[in-house]
Amino acid sequence: MVKDVFFSASARLNPAHAAVAILVLEDERYVMQLRDNIPGIFYPNHWGCFGGAVDPGERPLQAVRRELLEELEFKAGSASRFTRFQYDLKRLGRGKIDRIYYEVPVTRQEFKRFVLHEGKAFKAFTGRQLLGEKRVSPYDAFAIWLHCKQKRLKL
């Protein structure tokens, strides 16, 4: 059950600035990662976008490129900033954190060469398939929904 993941996690969850890739195939499907089912990560065993924390001194675009290399052995060509979500965690003593999304086009050939190093699996979904899935991290689901609407893709 999802609520147990957050309340009984053995490791402390640590929100941080993140850079995230909305990987879009030529046929407009989204490449998503099935996150590991381990304590200490947000939304374990959920589908989510590839990406991760921005290291100190690193720019978000550098971080998303590094994460794609680490997680998929994918050297992204173009990457354009799509949106930014900012969370105000001052009441929790954390200040503000950003989650910045980049749209990253992926060819079929690149997709076939992906090598997964983090997570349980990766898969391509239409927007409708993904947003109908029960286990998608909510912030990534919202970003994908925004992307579908902006691109006027059918849901």
Write out pLDDT tens, residues 18-31. 999 999 999 999 99
Question: Which residues does 65 contact at the CB level (< 8 Å), separation at least 6?
Answer: 75, 76, 79
What's the rounded mean pLDDT across residues 143-150? 94
Total count of domains within the chain: 1
Residue 5 has pLDDT above 60, yes or no: no
- Low-confidence winner among 70-79, 108-117, 145-154 (lowest mean pLDDT): 145-154
Residue-number span of the structural domain to which 92 is assigned? 2-151
CATH number at residue 117: 3.90.79.10
pLDDT at 148 over 60: yes
What's residue 9's pLDDT?
Answer: 54
State how far the alpha carbon of 13 is from the alpha carbons of 28, 42, 54, in Å.
33, 7, 16
Whether the predicted pLDDT of 1 surpasses 50: no
Cβ burial, residue 106 (10 Å; 0-12/13-18/19+): buried
pLDDT-based confidence at residue 94 (cuts at 50, 70, 90) = confident
Q: Report, as an integer, the average pLDDT of 120-131.
A: 95
